[in-house]
Structure 1
Amino acid sequence: MTPSDLLIDAFGRLPGTAARAMHGLDIDDLTWRPDPEANTIAWLVWHTARGQDLQIADLAATDQVWTTGGWHERFDLPFSAAEIGYGMSPADVGSVRASADLLSGYLDAVTLRTRGYLEGLDEASLTDIVDDAWDPPVTAGARLISIVGDCTQHVGQASYVRGLFDRR
């Protein structure tokens, strides 16, 4: 198994975990909060896909699926196409309202593009410096681990919120 195979497997697990967290929920359920400032399942899944989309597009030197695939228009959210959710206010988090099908569709599209990028990545490319603003500079491999770790945390949080929703 190559490093790319491992990364493909890790990123490939995200859509299934997100789908299980959203299974059977309508838009109001997906935007339920355990408290007024908590993240919603809808926001967590959207943010997972947006963060992965932005960062993989940067690594691959391509446009984001969010804009090229028409997802920004389909979601029709009240923020710019550049928004990924980082540092959003509770009100902004609450305005991410979307169906499970729409959220899954976007995450699936991002994961497919990620897979394509990873399939073309050779092992030597993992040591390429992608951000020299840090000490030590960030390699492509370190960035990919960071992305998949962040995404895994967010879909795990969506699963946790689902558990709270089911027990309310």
Structure 2
Amino acid sequence: MNTAGLLAEAFDRVGEAVHAAVEGLAPDDLNARLDEGANSISWLVWHLTRVQDDHIADASGTAQIWLTEGWADRFGLPLDATDTGYGHSADEVAAVRVDSTEPLLGYFDAVQERTLDFVAGLDGHNLDRIVDEGWSPPVTLGVRLISVVAEDLQHAGQAAFVRGVLERA
């Protein structure tokens, strides 16, 4: 398997996990929080998608789909348009609500498509390119992509856990 295939497989697994956590849920379940400090499924999927969109746009030198394809307007959240959810308070988490699965999965699928297009053109040499000098050591593209996959899978797993608790209640 080559580099592009390996990355595509990793991001495909993220997509499977996100869809499994979200598909078929009613708005009340998507927006439910197990307690007042917990993240909802809608926040978890919105956040993981925002981070993926932000990081892939930065790495590929493109604009975020959130901003260019009308997703910020469709969601209509009372947050700054550049917000990715990093460091959100409980009140900010509560503000991320959806009326159906469509915006969550539509936005995720659009970001996923761009991500897969981007990684399809990568080889091992591309992964050594520095994409963020704000860290010591500087972050390479390879490290950034693995970070995105790891965070996405963690949050998709959290969403699946919340779904499981809600289904057993």
Specify the TM-score bucket, using the shorter chain as the normaliser: over 0.9
Give SS of 2:82's match: coil
Segment drifting more, 69-78 vs 119-128? 119-128
CA distance in 1, matches of 2:15, 2:105: 7
User: Is structure 2 residue 72 aligned with structure 1 residue 54?
Assistant: no
Which range moves more in the overlay, 18-27 or 109-118?
18-27
- For 2:120 and 2:25, the matched residues in 1 are separated by 34
2:115 matched residue in structure 1: 114
Cα RMSD over matched residues? Answer: 1.1
Aligned match of 1:29 = 29
Q: Deviations over 1:38-66 (max 9, x none)?
A: 00000000001000000010000100010
Stretches (4+) displaced over 6 A? none
Write out aligned runs for 1:141-152 (5 A): 141-152=142-153
Deviates more, 1:41-50 or 1:118-127: 118-127
Per the TM alignment, residue 92 of structure 1 is displaced from its structure 2 partner at its CA by: 1.3
Q: What is the 5 A alignment of 1:1-168?
A: 1-98=1-98, 99-168=100-169
Shift of 1:13: 1.9
Whether contact under 8 Å (2:44, 2:156) holds in the other structure is yes
SS at match of 1:36: coil
SS, match of residue 111 in structure 2: helix
Letter in 2 for 1:24: G
Q: Which runs of 5+ in 1 are unaligned?
A: none
Deviation at 1:112, TM superposition (A): 0.3
Shift of 1:142: 0.8
* Structure 2 residues not aligned, in runs of 5+: none
Contact 1:30 1:42 in 2 (8 A): yes
What secondary structure sits across from 1:123 in the alignment? coil
How far residue 135 of structure 1 moved from its aligned partner, in angstroms, is 2.6
Q: Distance in 1 between matches of 2:101 and 2:51?
A: 18
* Residue identity (%): 49
C-alpha contact 1:15 1:104 (8 A) present in aligned 2: no
* Residues 40 and 161, structure 1, Cα contact 8 Å, conserved in 2: yes
**Contact 2:3–2:122 (8 Å) recurs in 1:** no
